[in-house]
Structure 1
Amino acid sequence: MKLAPMRYKDYVWPHNPRVYSIDYERKMAVNKVPFGTYHLQDLGRTRRVMRGEGEFAGEGAYSQFGLLANTFYDPGPGLLIHPLWQTASAYFVELRLEQEPRPDYVRYSFAFWEASGLYSGAVQEVTRTEEAASGGNGGVLSHTVEQGDTLWAISARYGVGMTELLARNPQIRDPNLILPGEKVTVR
């Protein structure tokens, strides 16, 4: 199976990195309770950290690493598109040259941190429309997709499981591809 190349912002890898990993973390607090017991408090999930390792080989390998380094220096988050990972808005936070560079071979490693989009300072449009069919007092909650939004982030923001979110939105054929301006029914 041939996979599409990984992309971040304007950079496209000439061939995909050899090793990938994603770290998920949930922060917990331990609170002491009288008489020697304790209570665990879930402080919520933190960012996903996406790491990888790869190499550039052949003529111009170090030049290719230079292009990747220039992408690293470009500030702010960007869209990280990988053929197996879920597409995510992410910050490029680590780039490491793993060996003495040679003109025909460069080994490197990298890390991206997922940008949640929940604390950007921008107000995201959330609309409520009355349920016309039921005529009841409930409402349908929808989210208007903005640049950098992912279904994963929308499901986390509203506390709705991905399976449930996809069931409510049959118009979404590819969960890794939602476009700005689309309406996603949340509830």
Structure 2
Amino acid sequence: MTLVPMRFKNYEWRYNPEEISFECEKNVRELDSPKGTAYVQNLGRKNRLIKGKGQLCGEDCHEQFEKLWEVFAEGTVGVLALPFIKPVYAVFEKLTVIGEPVPDMLTYSFVFRETMESERAEIQTRCIAGENECLWDISYRTRLEVETLLNLNPWIKQADEQLQEGRVIRLC
């Protein structure tokens, strides 16, 4: 299986971070009753924290970091795509340079916070085919199975068929 590169908004990591962790918590309250019995109330899932650490390598590692910093500084919600995980809407919460600078390598860490409100508000039912795209490209971009896209768009005969730019593709 080929790993997809990590992406956030318009920034794509040249090399995936060496460490990625997900912190998932539930919002749970313990309530005491007058009879001395405790009850647990599940108030739902909290927004996930996605943390990681990696290196930017090459002669242009500082330029790579500057581009990453620009994306961080925007401070707005964007789509975060990670290897093996369905993309999520997130905010870039923290960016840290770690250790002593060395030639051609910069070590960094990051924290993203999922924003579930945006995910609910922006359920995508259709997308527009870009220049030279096929269903495989749409599948990669939307994280939907190619077979699902073929069933939803019966006018497309093969997944590798080049689509007309601007064509509307059903996603659900």
TM range (shorter): 0.5 to 0.7
User: Structure 1 CA distance, aligned partners of 2:26 and 2:169?
Assistant: 31
Structure 2: any 5+ residue segments left out of the alignment? Answer: 128-143, 151-167
CA 1:182–1:29: 2 relative to 1, 3 Å? farther
1:4 maps to which residue? 4
Q: Tell me if 1:117 matches 2:117.
A: yes
Aligned to 2:165: none
C-alpha distance in structure 2 between counterparts of 1:32 and 1:182, whole Å: 50
Query: Secondary structure of 2:59's match?
Result: coil
Larger helix share, 1 or 2: 2
Match of 1:64 in 2: 64
The Cα of 1:12 is off from its aligned counterpart by 0.8
Deviation at 1:106, TM superposition (A): 0.9
Asked if the contact 1:97–1:109 (Cα under 8 Å) also holds between the matched residues in 2, the reply is: yes
TM-aligned CA deviation for residue 29 of structure 1:
0.7
Q: Distance in 2 between matches of 1:48 and 1:172?
A: 29
Contact 2:89 2:118 (8 Å CA) reproduced: no
Give the Å deviation of 1:70.
Answer: 1.0
TM-score, normalised by the number of residues in structure 1:
0.63
Task: Tell me the equivalent position of 2:148.
Answer: 171
- The CA distance in 1 between the partners of 2:22 and 2:56, in whole Å, is 22
| 8 A contact 1:23–1:50 mirrored in 2 | yes
8 Å contact from structure 1 (residues 62, 102) kept in 2: no
Identity of aligned residues (%): 33
Root-mean-square deviation (CA, aligned residues, Å) is: 2.9
TM-score by length of 2: 0.68
Q: C-alpha separation between the residues in 1 aligned to 2:86 and 2:119? A: 21
For residues 79-128 of structure 1, the C-alpha deviation after alignment (integer angstroms, 9 at most, x for no partner) is 111231111111111111111333422111111111112698x6x7xxxx
Aligned to 1:95: 95
Q: Which amino acid aligns with 1:93?
A: E
Q: Do the aligned partners of 2:89 and 2:119 also contact (CA within 8 Å) in 1?
A: no
Q: How does 1:45-56 map to 2 (within 5 A)?
A: 45-56=45-56
Cα distance, 1:144–1:111 mapped onto 2, change above 3 Å: closer
Stretches of structure 1 lacking an aligned partner (at least 5 in a row):
125-142, 148-165, 174-179
Alignment of 1:33-48 (within 5 A): 33-48=33-48
**Is the aligned partner of 1:14 residue 2:14?**
yes
Aligned to 1:159: none
Query: For the structure 1 residues 39 and 183, does the alpha-carbon distance in structure 2 shift closer, same or farther, using more than 3 Å as the test?
Result: same
After superposing on structure 2, the runs of 4+ consecutive aligned residues of structure 1 that deviate more than 4 Å are 180-183
